[in-house]
Amino acid sequence: MIDYNPKNWWKFIFYFHKADTFIKLMPAMLGLAAYTAIFVYVENNILHYVPIKNPLTIHSLVGFVLSLLLVFRTNTAYDRWWEGRRLWGNFTNNSRNFALKLATFLPEKHPAKETLKILIGNYLHAVKEHLRGKAHISSLTFTENYNEEYYKGFKHLPNRICQAIYTEIHQLHQAGLINAEQLLVLNNELSSFTDNLGACERIKNTPIPVSYNIFIKKIIFIYVFTMPITAVLEYKFWSIPIVTLVFYAFAGIEIMAEEIEEPFGTDANDLGLDNMVKNIKGNLAEIL
């Protein structure tokens, strides 16, 4: 995720990041400009069509409908991005609440505090890597009871780590360090961990319906590649930059929507999960 100042207009008008849609679309824009230039040359020097009355009327109507589709597409993608951010905000709050309650319920400097601090940190790290499809036990911090052998053979590491946290809490209850009321309070926080993970998995594993995705791309392609046929009659050589800019606007919106609809990756516009996990671990270290 890129940190930036949204008030710095001039910087972002003339600055191009490697993930900028302009750079991604540059080859296609150059190809479209050459394609339009061919139409301009053929019309002005060979065919000399008689100008059609209002040649861009049909494209204006189709462009309006396409704009509505892209607005819906972008809003849907942003909703997924924002829901992912909200869920990770819940992870942050639940981790802090859980740690604060443990710090209060357990005796000072009790060894379970250190174990649970490591397990919660492991859980959030594993959730992050699990959502990116590359969770592995080598990135975890091991303890005496929960070492490499404990995690070995489990494909869903977050579930295994959450099971370890439940085991620790149950043992504290059995030892009389946590009473039934406190156990119930802690259980609410633990349940929220699994609920948040399930919601994140829903976002990750449920993409935009493929038929809808393909339809928008086809409409953009047909709209842009037929636009020179009528734009040349109205704008002559000016149709080259006009058609290219129209393509940049429509295709750029679609590319941005594609990027933010899966918010848990490592793209420039994805959520900054690495920093979130780092900050939560810092909070846990202070509290416990």
- Please spell the DSSP secondary structure of the chain, one letter per residue: -----TT-HHHHHH---TT-HHHHHHHHHHHHHHHHHHHHHHIIIII-PPPPSSTTHHHHHHHHHHHHHHHHHHHHHHHHHHHHHHHHHHHHHHHHHHHHHHHHHSPTT-HHHHHHHHHHHHHHHHHHHHHTT---GGGSPP-SSS-HHHHTT-S-HHHHHHHHHHHHHHHHHHTTSS-HHHHHHHHHHHHHHHHHHHHHHHHHH-PSPHHHHHHHHHHHHHHHHHHHHHHHHHHGGGHHHHHHHHHHHHHHHHHHHHHHTSTTSSSTTS--HHHHHHHHHHHHHHH-
Query: What is the predicted pLDDT for the residue at 55?
Result: 58
pLDDT-derived band at 213, boundaries 50, 70, 90: confident
Query: What is the predicted pLDDT for the residue at 206?
Result: 87
pLDDT for 140-188, tens place per residue?
899 888 998 898 888 899 999 999 999 999 999 999 999 999 999 899 8
Segment 213-220 mean pLDDT: 85
pLDDT for 59-82, tens place per residue?
777 788 888 888 888 898 999 999
Give the residue extent of every domain in the chain: 25-78+209-260, 81-206+273-287
0.85 cut: is pTM over it? no
